[in-house]
Amino acid sequence: MIFFILIYFASYIYILHKNLSLGLSILLFTLPLYLIRFKIFGIFPSTFLEIHILLCFSFWFLTKTNFKNFLKDLQKQDKKNTFKKYLKQLKENRKKRPAYPFTREIITVLLISYFSFLFSGQSIKAFGIWRAYFFEPLLVYILILNIFFKEINNQKKDKLVIFYEKIFFPLTLSASFLSLLAIIQKLSNKFIINNYWHFEAQRITSIFPYPNALALFLGPIFFLTCGYFLYLHFSPKDNKKKLYLYKIACIVEILIIGIAICLSQSKGALLSISISFGLFAFLINKKSRIFILIIYIIFGMIIFQNPNLKNKTQELFFLKNLSGEIRKQQWRETKDFLQDNYYNFFFGSGLANYQNKIKSYHQEGIFYNFYKDPDFKRKIVIFDEHYKKKHWQGVEIYLYPHNFFLNFWVELGFFGMIIFTWILLRASVLNFSYFRKENTNTRFLALGTFFALQTILIHGLVDVPYFKNDLSILFWILIAYSGIIELIKNSKK
């Protein structure tokens, strides 16, 4: 296994040497391959994705910055003058290029997350979390801005379009493979790699260990694809054949991603995409508004005329089903933990320390009305142990509270939650503002990114849309695209 991994990465280094942009595209394509884990020299734990990031960043830093010249000068001249010369070059280069978008936010995230790692007791697990979910995603953010954006600066085509395509194609290719595998799993009953197929109504997972992991990854890419389809649809018809083929590819992509999400049976994903897609269609134009309103009215009538569907919809929206009740119990425990003292409130639990900190606040299970007994609330208090046992549901201590805001709050503290909320809000405003003010078809690319961010937020109200290797990088890819909008807007002033 290690032998083949070494051969692969030797080939990857060669690709980086020949075409750094292609190497970064391969990195984006391999986001789900964090699942391939191994130890370097039998000691240092790493993942397939992490090696891609470190190699790509190291290669860029050594070959495309002044650092290589600095190392050469360090051997020839005295160290003091060499350092002064290098620092002077850094300052000059800094003045020539525009500042990174979200610079203050990135510095704040790094400081808060590192402080949270120290606060957690500096365990190896906490360091791994900091490295995989904060440090390395920000390296990818820097790579995207330096490699992709610099590469497109001198091209005649709209910079925003090229940049979107640079991140869009590898992500959608990756999503296509995952979705097709998921569909094959369902149709053939083969290539099953987990127990969800057998124990949870045949929920498919593709290569992931659980269904929600697939849905969380595919959801934002679904809206990126919708945005690109609209960009093509409203493009000038200069090359009809090429546009037609691209549009067909986007439709196929949208369909297979949608089918894969449905097969995962992730209620959070289905709910977030249903809400976001309705708003997405409502904002396109007058025709789409009328169409989506008719569709929603028809669905609404079907649901309200069917008592069974109506009850299930209400359970889903108001979190009255089993998974919803478990979520609410998690949130109550987390609330108790955060409100217990000022220390918990401001600093949370520290990275990778939530399960330890929440133990004293945890309830072993909940009583749930499995059989829809209308007198359940009274009976669960006064009836015998046999009745209570039939309605008892054990609840484990999860890694995170399964809520976008609470996840960041317990891991990074109150200010960590605030900074990530601000980043998401600012990126959303940048994209929506561009969509509203721009008159060209590129506005739909910003609309796709806007709703990719919103599906992260909406699904994140009941799940964990960031604290996973691929999801944290996907989040910062969307932030990078939002930052490019800001750079382009500032360059036009």
**Average of pLDDT values for 95-103?**
73
pLDDT bracket for residue 62 (50, 70, 90): confident
* The pLDDT of residue 201: 61
The residue among 35 and 76 whose pLDDT is bigger is: 35
* pLDDT, position 474: 97
In the prediction, which pLDDT does 491 show?
A: 65
The per-residue pLDDT for 154 is: 60
CB 442 within 8 A of CB 124: no
100-114, 142-156, 290-304, 420-434: range with lowest mean pLDDT: 142-156
Give the model's pLDDT for residue 372: 81
Kindly list the distances between the CA atom of residue 254 and the CA atoms of 228, 260, 461, in Å, as whole numbers in the listed order: 11, 10, 24
Would you kindly state where each structural domain of the chain is located, as residue ranges? 2-101
The percent of residues in the chain predicted with pLDDT above 70, rounded, is 86
pLDDT, position 362 = 92
Q: What is the CA angle 473-476-478, rounded to 5? A: 115
Taking residues 199-210, what's their average pLDDT? 79
Give the pTM.
Answer: 0.92
Mean pLDDT of 477-482: 94
Q: pLDDT tens-digit profile of 14-28?
A: 999 889 999 999 999
pLDDT at 120: 80
Predicted confidence (pLDDT) per residue in 169-192, tens digit: 999 999 999 999 999 988 888 877
Confidence at residue 244, expressed as pLDDT on a 0 to 100 scale = 85
User: Which has more pLDDT, 283 or 310?
Assistant: 283
Tell me what the pLDDT averaged over the chain comes to. 86
The mean pLDDT of 136-162, rounded to a whole number, is: 82
Contact residues for 415 (Cβ-Cβ < 8 A; gap 6+): 112, 346
